[in-house]
Structure 1
Amino acid sequence: MAIKKTELYSSLWASCDALRGGMDASQYKDYVLTLLFMKYVSDKYKGDPYGMIVVPDGGSFEDMLKLKGDKEIGDKFNKIIAALAEENDLKGVIDVADFNDEEKLGKGKDMVDRLSKLVGIFDGLNLSANRAEGDDLLGDAYEYLMRHFATESGKSKGQFYTPAEVSRILAKVIGINNQTSQDTTVYDPTCGSGSLLLKVSDESPRGMTIYGQEMDNATSALARMNMILHNTATAKIVKGNTLAEPEWKEANGELKRFDFAVANPPFSSKNWTSGLNPEQDELDRFHWGVPPEKNGDYAFLLHILKSLKSTGKAAVILPHGVLFRGNAEARIRENLIKQGYIKGIIGLPANLFYGTGIPACIIVVDKEQAQSRTGIFMVDASKGFIKDGNKNRLRSQDLHKIVDVFTKQIQLPRFSRMVAMQEIADNDYNLNIPRYIDSSEPEDLHDLSAHLQGGIPNADIDALNEYWQVFPSIRATLFDDDREGYSKGLVEASHVKSTILNHPEFMHFAKQSLKPFSDWYQACDLTKLQIGEAPKAIIHRISEALLQAYTDAPLLSKYDIYQILMDYWADIMQDDVYVLVQDGWQAGSRIRELKVAKGEKLKETPDLIIGKAKYKAELIPPGLVVSRYFADQQAQIEQQQTELDSITQELETLIGENSGEDGLLVEAMNDKDKVTKATVTARLKIVTEADEKALLITVQKQFESEAKAKKTLKEAQEALDLAVFKKYPGLVESEIKALIVEDKWLATLQANIEAEIERITQQLANRVKELEERYAETLPKIESQVSALSEKVADHLKSMGLEV
């Protein structure tokens, strides 16, 4: 059975939990990723004489698994890993973590138990079932872990990972696409764990020739493992200080030149000159100026510039300070601008990266068009993000908008524009984005005349013109002319939203706004998904089609609609598709029993409980089966539930009204001051007073009615659950497709798009309501009311003998 991505991720994170306590995330990542690597290569290559990795006898994950409970488990783990490393020239790559370290893993039985549990978690993962062509399940899992490790490591140790969303922007803005050939070279001089290089290579379906260098030993080992897990074992990753000892050179000693370069160097490195005399640099990297000794941002940019071919292109992440700092950096910046090397600048949100909270930017370099460059394209994307824990994160729509705008050179108000070289020169070559793009929202100014004389300024109403173009009659319904330049509201502020929602123009708009969605799902026809398709290719195809479908939709943002699909893909649809393209549509008929070892808790919430057995549906929630095939039974159960609720409410009311201090049911209470069926029965045996006895008999009958209703409801629900359970194995492919595609995917997406349509209306309603309330009462009227109230207070004080 195929592994769902979310299931794989949760299992891997459980392995991290097993290591917490003895070390922090920056350390235990080495153990988790090493075991992931051992499990993956063992599942994929053991017994394969032509495999990319040779798994020797005594060097596999199965050999590690046999050591569960062994007193020498740590030392023997090290030897098994060393055997695999020795066979595949991976010494110093996969054997960095010491599995016999008592300080980190505990002594004696603690170490044995911890490592036994850890290897047991990985034993539960069948990585050989990863058959979705073109979809890097393990690579994605590695990225998932790296992101979490970076989050937990904090600012000082999270620099080994560049957020995947930012990596994809870098790849796309330098022009890597499906036309890029496999022998095209891409270089990262500070490659960290290699995630940036891999995301860039992913943009080319044929792959690319990868070169990287990383100074930190453990992190360069991560990069090597990362490349193998992504089926890119031929990538050339080396350890070393790029600035002092660059590895990649030609035979004549000059720097090797690459087609593309990407980098996320350490921000504002204060020791970049270590081992290097920039004034006498043999590689002539600082021809345009020497960066300040305590700030190496431009040192990395100049190194990359020198490492590009004459047609080379690069994208580098640097702190915003490089755009405006003075002195030596100002001179370098001016020289680079005059040479035409800088094609564009993209300002990113603050708190996006794990190594720092400061805002950063992407400098896009293009040597090929340098001589003819007449301006620099600037993008202020600092406002588009979502909070993700203690960090900010770019959404799919933010990424897409940035790339669309930059690659097509689209100029949008408060977001992007082409800035002429002369304007930059007039600003002394200062590239600080706010000098050229004002991304702030226009100020909402109050109208003094409206406050004094009443009326709503027409200027404020006209500012909503994008709505009135779609809803011309709604404007006439909400406003009428008042005095010149001002209108009066015709609908009470509290009724504005309902007036809009019930207006024929809105109803027509809502209906028309769903037509692109209807056209989209008919064109995509998700029922035609087949075994062997790549999930990433599927979501790319259908998401781009949805984006295109809503390109000309009035009021709605195509990027917001796109985000609805991408969020649903990440939460639910991705797992479904991953199973379908591996196991086929019949997987929808599967329902598996949840079993748990004695003393442990269920890790999943059951969908159905039949007797004592608990079951989980693979793809189709039972509620969808009920709605399509057992609607009558469900309606009957809902009616029974309503009747039970009514009986219970009557009983509670009866008890409540008669259980006060002098109530007839006081003697029927237990020691917790509650009236129960048992206390009522006991009281009836001894009661003599007629009124109390009559009430007790009524309450007893009500308890009996409630119990009978509960029993009836329980039996009906159990019968329905059993019928649903029996329905799953008999589902045929056409039924499964209808349940998954129509009832699950499309119904959810349509509901979310309808909510987005209503949100747009809510924005209009809120603004109209705000304007009406703002100018509802004029200042003279308020002053008159204040004067009247003041006189009342004075009269009251006078009547009490107090003079003011």
Structure 2
Amino acid sequence: MAEENKYQAQANELSQKLWAIANELRGQMDASEFKNYILGVIFYRYLSERTELYMQELLENDGITYEEAFADEDFRPVVEEWSLDHLGYIIQPENLFRELIRKIVKFRDDADKFSVEDFERAIHELEGSTMGHLSNKAFDGLFSDMRLQDSRLGETVADRTDMIGRVMVRVSEIDFNLQDSQFDVLGTAYMILIGLFASDAGKKGGEFFTPTGPSKLCATLAALGLDEAKTVGDCTCGSASMLLEVQKHLTTGKVGHFYGQEQNATTYNLARMNMIMHGVDWQRFDIYKGDTLKDDKYGDVKMTVQVCNPPYSLKWSADKKFEDDPRYSGAGKLAPKSHADFAFVEHMVYHMDEDDGRVAVLLPHGVLFRGGAEETIRKYIGKDLNRIDAVIGLPANLFHGTSIPVCVLVLKSKRNGNSDNILFIDASKEFKTGKNQNTLEDEHIDKIVKAYTDRVDIPKFAHVATMAEIEENGWNLNIPRYVDTFEEEEPVDLVAVKAEIKEIAVKKQAAIDKAESILRQLGV
């Protein structure tokens, strides 16, 4: 634990240095846009140094460098094949990050001097190296949001060269220490940096990042008791922070395959970068771009664990054609046009592994009590399918995009002896107050998880409600119906209050009399 804390501290320090660089260099560009450049530079450096480390290990017994092997007509095809098979991409020696930095700071002559067009070419060649290969799914268009011709970087090529050159040099000055495999310092720092950008971006930041506390809570609840997971998914994955959080809470940390879907093109690229930065091999993840509700990219894949923080009360078409979609057809009614929350839940229910599927999803409280179609779907999932295992209410103001309190729905395909009840937890008071945003700390998460594990009544905090009790409430799952948090007020002593009011009146009159006396003495 002490060792892990040490590396977490290193990751925090590294992310703060990177954040300082971002603030120093971004000029007039909005933080949410400049992140594409600084994160892109960090990611390119990571891929470059990963190439160098792999080639050093591979060519050690041959006694030649990567540059020499690439220049050899016989060696080059072999080296390229190795790189594609193992890394999924090729970075040519002249495009290595350290070589680009040399051209920025130690160029030999004007012809050898760095230009932003050198970096642009290097990126295109990296992406091009994956064309026609299976790894293309992970790398295609990965740097498309780092628009190196954007006039906001500079009006001229020279200006843009200067800006990107300064970013690259500053990033090069930081020791990433990739050879230290004990803990993913760089990957963790990258995640922290994404969170800082999200916080700075305010409401827009909520689109790509779920704060650490709620993310950790969902991952912990969904992975509870699992040694490993065959498949882990997030159908609105954002930057993939929740996906990556899940493996931390599996006993062995082993995940067979990650699945994610993200509609926003920029965030879709960020998610793929984040997976690779955390050492997830390109063959072990599929992140799809597209609208989850309209176009299910998963096909027939069933998930062991699913976590999700979908956009709250999103408007969607609720088109009649979806009545034939196997994800939505079971309940007999579609989620209303004004609230797509249950459409996301139904998507996840459809993709649950029948043997031991788990879901932890963050949702607005309205899903617990709204009537109409949502009541029908709620009853279908809870009663007919018997998948709702727990309902947990969280504090307000935990998220970048909204100040509303949200809840966690925990779903399980096998209820393991709890099929005749649902656990309700009111954790609305479990938070640390922040200046702009409240946070869910480890102590709060531990308290919630313990209550979920113990599954017993706790006054004013948790209640195990029988299905009969829920039926009596017409499948209204609003937490106050099950967890009584009423605090009885101290009885008011009216005699004492009356005496206090009288005393205040006497003191007030005495103060007035004194003031008037002073004014008379002054002749006013």
Q: Considering the TM-score relative to the shorter chain, is it more than 0.5?
A: yes
Q: Given that residues 22 and 104 in structure 1 are in contact (C-alpha distance below 8 angstroms), is that contact kept between their aligned partners in structure 2? A: no
2:62 aligned partner: none
Q: Say if 1:18 and 1:117, in contact at 8 Å, map to a contact too.
A: no
Q: Of the candidates 31, 38, 46, which is equivalent to residue 32 of structure 1?
A: 38
CA contact (8 A) 1:78 1:95 kept: no
Change (3 A) 1:122 1:787: closer
**Aligned position for 1:59:** 95
Specify every segment of 5 or more residues in structure 2 that has no aligned partner in the other structure, as ranges. Answer: 1-6, 59-82, 131-135
Instruction: After superposition, give the CA deviation of every residue in 1:522-552 in whole Å (9 maximum; x if it has no partner).
Output: xxxxxxxxxxxxxxxxxxxxxxxxxxxxxxx
Q: Is the 8 A contact 1:18 1:114 kept in 2?
A: no
**Aligned residues of 1:285 and 1:302 also touching (Cα < 8 A):** no
> CA shift at 1:362, angstroms?
0.6
Measured after TM superposition, the shift of residue 329 of structure 1 is: 0.8
Aligned-pair CA distance for 1:130: 5.3
Q: Which amino acid aligns with 2:383?
A: K
Match for residue 323 of structure 1 among 339, 344, 368: 368
Query: Counterpart of 1:210 in structure 2: which amino acid?
Result: F
| Aligned twin of 2:290 | 240
Using CA pairs below 8 Å that are at least 6 residues apart, which structure has the higher relative contact order?
A: 2
Residue pairs, 1:722-737, within 5 angstroms: none
- Aligned residue for 1:165? 213
What's the counterpart of residue 124 of structure 2? 82
The share of aligned pairs that are identical, in percent, is 33
CA contact (8 A) 2:310 2:363 kept: yes
Give secondary structure in 2 for the equivalent of 1:445: coil
Q: Which residue of 287, 298, 304 corresponds with 1:259?
A: 304
Question: Aligned-pair distance for 1:200?
Answer: 0.6
Task: Quickly say closer, same or farther: Cα 1:447–1:420, change in 2 above 3 A.
Answer: farther
* 3-state SS of paired residue (1:38): helix
Q: Give the 3 Å change call, closer, same or farther, for CA 400–130 of structure 1 in structure 2.
A: farther
Residue number in structure 2 paired with 1:107: 156
Selected match of 2:147 from 92, 98, 107 = 98
Q: What is the DSSP-based 3-state SS (H/G/I as helix, E as strand, rest coil) of the residue aligned with 2:336? A: coil
Partner residue of 2:200?
Answer: 152
1:375 and 1:317 map into 2 onto residues whose CA distance is 21
Q: Which amino acid aligns with 1:443?
A: E
Give the deviation of 1:27 after TM superposition: 1.4
Contact 2:388 2:411 in 1 (8 A): yes
The corresponding residue for 1:593 is none
Match of 2:388 among 334, 337, 342: 342
The alignment partner of 1:58 has SS state of: helix
The answer to whether the aligner puts 1:310 opposite 2:354 as a matched pair is: yes
Partner SS state of residue 148, structure 2: coil
Does 2:172 match 1:123? yes
Distance 1:346 1:125 in 2: 42
Q: CA deviation at 1:123?
A: 1.0
Q: Is the 8 A contact 1:341 1:365 kept in 2?
A: yes
Q: What TM-score, normalized to structure 2?
A: 0.80
Could you tell me how far apart the structure 1 residues matched to 2:504 and 2:269 are?
A: 78
Is 2:431 aligned against 1:385?
yes
Q: Could you say which residue in structure 1 is the equivalent of 2:18? A: 12
What secondary structure does 2:203 align onto?
A: coil
Q: 1:681-727 CA distances to partner (integer Å, 9 max, x unpaired)?
A: xxxxxxxxxxxxxxxxxxxxxxxxxxxxxxxxxxxxxxxxxxxxxxx
Secondary structure of the corresponding residue to residue 310 of structure 1 = coil
Q: Is the 2:261–2:288 Cα contact (8 Å) retained in structure 1?
A: yes
Counterpart residue type for residue 14 of structure 1: A
Alignment of 1:333-732 (within 5 A): 333-339=378-384, 340-369=386-415, 373-439=419-485, 441-448=487-494, 451=496
Secondary structure of 2:261's counterpart equals: strand
Kindly tell me: are residues 64 and 421 of structure 1, through their superposed partners in 2, closer, same or farther at Cα, counting changes over 3 Å?
Answer: same
CA distance in 1, matches of 2:360, 2:180: 34
- Partner letter of residue 185 of structure 1? T
User: Which segment drifts farther, 166-175 or 195-204?
Assistant: 166-175
SS of 1:55's equivalent in the other structure is coil
Paired letter, 2:20: A
Give, in whole Å, the separation in 1 of the partners of 2:316 and 2:344.
12
Once residues 780 and 260 of structure 1 are traced to their aligned partners in structure 2, the CA distance between those partners, rounded to angstroms, is 61
Partner Cα distance (1:324, 1:67) in 2: 63
Computing the radius of gyration from Cα coordinates, the structure with the larger value is 1
Q: Which amino acid aligns with 1:180?
A: D
Change (3 A) 1:779 1:26: same
Mapped to 1, the partners of 2:15 and 2:96 lie a distance apart of: 22
1:180 to 224, 227, 235: 227
- The residue aligned with 1:138 is 186
The residue identity in structure 1 corresponding to 2:253 is R
| AA matched with 1:444 | E
Contact 1:85 1:95 in 2 (8 A): no
DSSP 3-state at the match of 2:362: strand
For 2:499, the equivalent position in structure 1 comes to: 779
SS in 2 for 1:82: helix
1:588-636 Cα distance to aligned partner (Å, 9 max, x none): xxxxxxxxxxxxxxxxxxxxxxxxxxxxxxxxxxxxxxxxxxxxxxxxx
